[in-house]
Amino acid sequence: MALHGKLIDDASGTAAETDTEWELISDRVMGGVSEGALTTHEVSGRRARHMTGQVSLENDGGFLQMALDLSPDGGAIDASGFEGIEVTARGTGSDYNIHLRTEAVARPWQSYRLTFHAGPDWATHRLPFADVTAHRIDAPFDAATLRRIGIVAIGRRMQVDLAVARLAFY
């Protein structure tokens, strides 16, 4: 498949334009009890980042997140020349969020969000920046100052089983 934009991550191991590693973050950072794991291996015939676990709403929790800094030095990248984010994923029929952090995001609970549905078959989802919604932040979304991207299971008790093979700007 030809690349349509700037590659963020390709779990096949053949290409990645970031030198950073994905990390798993759970609501345990704020006292929750959700549990999960993040591995890279073959899922349904494709090599993928595979987030699994259980989201619990106990102790005011409710999320599991795989997160990636977009620049190795923690600075911002300019994605303003692209229309949005393209994610190739499969799951168990649940909705997941893409959380974007820009230079305007100062608090852990702030983000800019997009949602996609991960069904049981591999599918590529195009999520336009025009559909971004601000969460607990008044500043407008600015794709020219992107710092971090998270793929998140959030807000409801759920079994998490999400595989992401490719992530790119388009």
Residue 1 lies in a domain: no
Q: Work out the mean pLDDT of the chain and round it to a whole number.
A: 92
Residue 162 lies in a domain: yes
Q: What is the average pLDDT across 32-48?
A: 96
Domain with 56 in it? 7-169
pLDDT at 14 over 80: no
Residue 39 lies in a domain: yes
The tens digit of pLDDT for each residue in 53-72 reads 999 999 988 999 999 999 88
The count of domains in the chain is 1
What is the pTM assigned to this prediction?
A: 0.91
The tens digit of pLDDT for each residue in 116-162 reads 999 999 999 999 999 999 999 999 999 999 999 999 999 999 999 99
Cross-strand pairs, 7: 168
Q: Residue 84 is part of a domain; what is its CATH number?
A: 2.60.120.430
User: Which residues, 6 or more positions from 144, have their beta carbon under 8 angstroms from its beta carbon?
Assistant: 76, 78, 79, 80
pLDDT at 3 over 70: no
